Chains A and B, each alone.
Chain A
Amino acid sequence: MSEIPATLKYSNSHEWIQLSDDIATIGITDHAQALLGDIVFIELPEVGEHISEDGECGVVESVKAASDLFAPIGGEVVEVNENLGDAPEQVNETPYEAWILKIKIDNASDIDNLLDATQYQAVVDAE
């Protein structure tokens, strides 16, 4: 059983989002990392880049496959987790601590489109 913390928001494409004012911290869920298997490279976006909702914002490459990372919410990239360059396995080990990027949210109302833990659990169960 994968872990789905109640305090976070989620997307259909298996990203988690932690909201703090207008900043969204984004990573991939426990369920996603388990599906991917060992993660070996993470391609991060540039700081300052603007990403629209559902736009590509990186690539997570595992022993099994390369998988695009989609922005669950539109905005400007304000920070990326450079530590993952040398230690991408952190995403496997602690998926909810190993954040990937932070976005300054364009429209606060977009938050309403995100899933809560119960809704995301239903997405996982349906797979």
Chain B
Amino acid sequence: MTKLLKTPINAAHLQAGAKMVDFGGWEMPLHYGSQVEEHHTIRNHAGMFDVSHMVVSDLIGTGAADYLSKLLANDIARINNSNALIGKALYSCMLNEEGGVIDDLIVYWMGGDRYRIVTNAATRENDLSWMNSVLEGFDATLTEQSKVAMVAVQGPEARELVIAWGADKLGAEVGKDIKSLERFFATEYDGWFIGRTGYTGEDGFEVMMVEDKATLFWEEMLIAGVKPCGLGARDTLRLEAGMMLYGSDLDAVTTPLESALSWSVGLDPAERRFIGRELLDEQKERGVNRKLVGVLLDGRGVMRDHQKLFFGGEQVGEITSGGFSPTLNRTIALARIRADVTENCEVEMRGKMVPVIIQRPLFVRNGQPI
């Protein structure tokens, strides 16, 4: 067995009695007792995740914007064309030549020709080798920041607590700066990077820092009343919020248009020849064969990944992410099904066919069921 990697906050998790699991080669907290309670904490108060396993890379150079324009399905020009947008974040997929998703990511424009990119941990090697191979010929450098740790502080009370922390520890001006951040914007201060982004459907911040400051930040947040939460709650929160998980809902043989991510694909202007564009143009023209939907089941039981969906006795797709929704107190799922299926289906659960409701892939946003 290979030795698991540890984040700088690992000891604090063990001390708090976390149940640790192997996640993409990292020893990460699954929960600290009850993942359902942690879920409710973030929907109703404030909780935090150690997400230091995620991959942070900085891109700089006069060719950076052109590079991102080729690398990303979303159009970097949406966020880098005015000084008012400095710090703005963009969600995008990066695609292979066949239009399949290599990974989904967040890129922040930090002004000038500086960008920060956050990609998934489980896909690290493949992502970095792809990003570096595309970089050839562009006047820009991409540097992985392996000494950067990240803590996501999320929930309706998270914003106030992080603003108060910033004012107290980094100074009144920084506190004001954090307070003035609009959603999906980030700011930097002396090695701290604070983005009003997240993966829960709640307000909050993702805070990046040099690794030797991570445990102190974690402890200061604990004292402020922020509860530690594990990957279990992170998964049910993102599922309720209809956010995709790479490897489950997204993969290298499925395009963003087949994944309810058309909004994150910039097909205009037609001159922007990003990688994977050909198939997307073709799909836009002809329509897609498969689509990603939300699935609701009104009753007991929990839908699980890979359970099959049927319509009129015929299999039309399968669950890509299934689970229990603590907010709705019932099971919910994301599924990929035949694009022509618009009516309700049946899911095969433990040998039984159970009727389910097909809806758009969004269940909860800002604490409220949708």
Q: Quick check: A89 and B36 within 8 Å, CB to CB? A: yes
Does A15 sit within 8 A of B, measured CB to CB?
Answer: no
A66 within 8 A of B: yes
Contact B302 A38 (CB under 8 A): no
Chain B: minimal CB distance from A124 (Å): 16
Contact residues in B for A25 (Cβ distance below 8 Å): none
Assess the A43–B35 pair: CB atoms within 8 A: no
Q: Which A-chain residue is minimally distant from B323 (CB atoms)?
A: A63
Is B3 part of the binding interface, using a Cβ–Cβ cutoff of 8 Å?
no
> How far, in angstroms, from A37 to B231 measured CA to CA in the complex?
13
Q: Return the contact of B300 from the options A37, A41, A89 (Cβ within 8 A).
A: A41
* Interface set, chain B 129-182, CB cutoff 8 A to A: none
A62 to B36, CA, bound (A): 10
- A92 in contact (CB, < 8 A): yes
**Is A63 in contact with B236, judged by CB distance below 8 angstroms?**
yes
A78 is an interface residue with CB less than 8 A from chain B: no
CB distance from A21 to the nearest CB of B (A): 33
Interface check B198, CB cutoff 8 A: no
Beta-carbon nearest neighbor of A92 in chain B: B34
Among A40, A63, A65, find the residue whose CB has the most chain B CB atoms closer than 10 A: A63
Q: Is A30 an interface residue (CB 8 A)?
A: no
| The residue from A38, A41, A59, A66 contacting B35, defined by CB atoms under 8 A apart | A38
Asked if B301 lies at the interface with its beta carbon under 8 angstroms from chain A, I say yes
In the complex, which residues of chain B have a beta carbon less than 8 angstroms from the beta carbon of A89? 34, 36
Mark A residues whose CB is within 8 Å of B: 37-38, 40-41, 43, 59, 61, 63, 65-66, 89, 92
Q: Give 9 A-B pairs besides A37-B31, A41-B300, A63-B302 with Cβ atoms closer than 8 angstroms.
A: A37-B30, A37-B232, A40-B36, A43-B301, A59-B350, A61-B301, A61-B302, A63-B324, A66-B302
